Amino acid sequence: MLSANPAITCIAVQLVLAAVLVVGEVSGRLRLPYSKFGTGVGVNSRTGLALAYTTPIIIYIAFWIEGGAPQSPYHLIVLAAFLLHFIRRILEILFVNSFSRPTPLRALVPIALLYGGAAASSAFFQVNTSGQPTSNPTFMLGLVVFGLGELLNGYHHWLLAHLRPPGVRTYVMPRGGLFGWVASPHYFGEILSFVGYAMMSDLLPVWGNALAVSAYLSSRANSTLKWYQREMPQRIPTGWRRLVPFAY
């Protein structure tokens, strides 16, 4: 079993990373230039993002194999959940998402590194613990939260992909689902996925990943709302929030 020191060191790094991501996004100085914040130059978004999201899968599987490929229900379920999230994202990128412009390497590389780091920290600590019983209420609730997050994230990505008629490259106001209340319900879904996964894992570094993702996507949602307020002020629904209906 691991001592507490590696876990504490890991979450300390994650807290610093979360702070850097939030400050960089809020200030705009380290804002990742993808989606509506893209520069219009870079590599093919579909190919680049698919490769970026493949990185954490490779890293997780490598750590899992190196750790002896544990076969307990706990280890198999957290492995399956991790793979489900990123394989789903890759399939969305390849067959669902609509991209209006290329994505710069200076956005793709950080995405691959950040999610790759999440994969390494999750897998390393998961394979080195006996895990909690899968009948534990926290584990079961985490599974439900994770599933809800996956559904919300995937559904709102699907809505975004079908906003524009074929051949149209300009941004249009999102609608349907939770878009009537918030600017970034897909981010809300991803946050729920990471929080649910942390509940299932019940490990401090996995909670650190959830914290970093939540902090970054919350600040990114704020930037997204400001973009819509600047670019489409007359089309924004009354009381539109950033991420969570009626709250934030």
Rounded to an integer, what distance in angstroms lies between the CA atom of residue 45 and that of residue 211?
A: 27
Domain ranges in the chain are: 31-231
**pLDDT value at residue 1:** 46
DSSP 8-state class, residue 128: T
Q: What is the pLDDT of residues 109-163, one digit of tens each?
A: 999 999 999 999 999 999 999 888 899 999 999 999 999 999 999 999 999 998 8
* pLDDT score of 46 more than 90: yes
Averaged pLDDT for residues 52-72: 97
Task: Measure the CA–CA gap between 52 and 90, rounded to whole angstroms.
Answer: 9
Distances (CA, A) of 24 to 72, 105, 111, 179: 40, 17, 14, 26
Sign of torsion over alpha carbons 141, 192, 160, 247: positive
DSSP percent split of the chain into helix, strand, coil, nearest 5? 70, 0, 30
State the amino acid at position 185 in one-letter form: P
> What is the C-alpha separation between 241 and 247, in angstroms, rounded?
7
pLDDT score, position 40: 77
Average pLDDT over residues 64-82: 97
Average pLDDT over residues 44-51: 96
The pLDDT tens digits of the residues spanning 184-240 come to: 999 999 999 999 999 999 999 999 999 999 999 999 999 999 999 999 998 999 999
What share of the chain has pLDDT > 70, as a percent? Answer: 97
Tokens found for residue 218: 């919350």
pLDDT band at 167 (very low <50, low <70, confident <90, very high): low
Confidence of residue 41 (pLDDT cuts 50, 70, 90): confident
pLDDT, tens digit, for every residue of 105-118? Answer: 999 999 999 999 99
